Structure 1
Amino acid sequence: MEYNPSTDLFTWVIQTDDGINHEIIKNISVTFLNNLKTAIVDGLEQRAALIGNVNEYSVAVPEKLLRDNR
């Protein structure tokens, strides 16, 4: 993301493997980015709930590894 302080807007730029920069979208407002951030966080939380992650740093562990084979 590139920030333009004179317009208070952002531009999303990616660099491809050939080293060329490509603008994905220009003139992104802070409001849009905050709404996008909220949507992403909500989606990730829904995903975590479905796969059983309790905290953000936990990872899914195969059930076979969790069995008590005494």
Structure 2
Amino acid sequence: MKIILASFFALVSALNISLGLANPEMGEIAPGFHLQDQNNQWHELEDYRGKWLVLYFYPKADTPGCTTEACEFRDNI
């Protein structure tokens, strides 16, 4: 099963790179997307055109550094 999952993720990664879906560089326009929030509401990037938007990603929940950074975002918005 682990080999199948590893193969799947390798294939998806290769497709992303070959289709030009790799991560945008800093300063580039983000590709369009839609995401569901914690209240099950959908949001599209296009809805925020011309507005400030912070997309916050973190590697692991409940770690000291990530928690501190998330609290700083919350407190300064």
TM-score, normalised with respect to structure 1: 0.31
Question: Higher RCO, 1 or 2 (CA under 8 Å, sep at least 6)?
Answer: 1
Structure in which a larger fraction of residues adopt strand? 1
TM-score by length of 2: 0.29
